[in-house]
Amino acid sequence: MNKLTIDLESRKVVHQTSDDQSEYAFDSKEAFELISDAWLNAGWDTKHVYSFSWLGRPIIQLPEDMLRLQEVLYKVKPDLIIETGVAHGGSLIFFATLCKALNKGRVLGVDIEIRPHNRKAIEEHELFSYITLIEGSSVEQKIVDNVKSDIKENETVFIMLDSCHTKDHVLKELYAYAPLVSVGSYIVAADGIMNLVVGAPRTSDDWKWNNPKEAALEFVKENPNFIIDTPDFDFNESSLEKPITYWPSGYIKRIR
């Protein structure tokens, strides 16, 4: 059993499981985290993230994830942002926006299939001059080599993995692309939320283990040059400590 009761009159939140029952004040961080988890689940059911665009292109990302991502990118200031998984191109345009604002950097997008209407829209976008598109499987060696060839000496590289989200595929991407990440920068495995929404529409039972979060945890366990490092809030006058995210344990930082 996993039951959450929100009482707006008494301003209490009660969380009941098979083993325990806890009660929290409505303005506590514990209540906020429980409500946020429920909200994320409801958002999955309703396809909440399918309701946003960035400068004209659908982005299919949780807005808080993108806002916190720009905090990281502002600190890292990468010369090259690599993203696997292009879809409609909204994230590529988001990254290109930051490159233009910082007057630094370019973006490389990799996808096994870039649909003609999406390619056309991306190539016609005002910020396309910052973007290079590569079509092919992100884990195929010739594609990986193509990406490597675009990296210039001493460049700072940041990588976003948002293509196929099976554990096996993400692990293959991590082993292929993590060596390209600069020390102090990150490779981010998106959509580790999969294990939290099992049982909802558009899910499978194997998502309990077959997801990017499990790939990230296994990768850092086997590769001591990397750690899971969810960035701290740059600014925080709240009582909160954890982000609301689709990417739990997704920030993998290269430390040496």
Which of 114, 108, 49, 123 shows the shortest CA–CA distance to 88? 114
Contacts of 255 (CB under 8 A, 6+ apart): 183, 184, 225, 226, 227
Give the mean pLDDT of 59-80: 98
Assign residue 40 a region (left: φ > 0; alpha: ψ between -120 and 50; beta: otherwise): alpha
45-64 core/surface letters (b: 16 or more CB in 10 A; e: else): eeeebeeeebeebbbbbbee
Q: Which residue has the tokens 């990017």?
A: 212
- Those residues with Cβ within 8 angstroms of residue 1's Cβ, 6 or more apart along the chain or in another chain: 16, 17, 18
What are the pLDDT digits (tens) for 100-152?
999 999 999 999 999 999 999 999 999 999 999 999 999 999 999 999 999 99
Beta strands of 68-175 (E only): which ranges?
Answer: 80-84, 106-111, 131-135, 157-161
Residues 6+ away with beta carbon under 8 Å from 210: 166, 167, 168, 194, 204
Query: pTM of this prediction?
Result: 0.96
Q: What is the mean pLDDT of the chain?
A: 97
pLDDT grade for 163, boundaries at 50, 70 and 90: very high
Place of tokens 């495995």: 189
**pLDDT tens figures, 185-238:** 999 999 999 999 999 889 999 999 999 999 999 999 999 999 999 999 999 999
Whether 147 and 108 have beta carbons less than 8 Å apart is answered as: yes
- Share in percent of the chain as helix, strand, coil (round to 5): 40, 20, 40
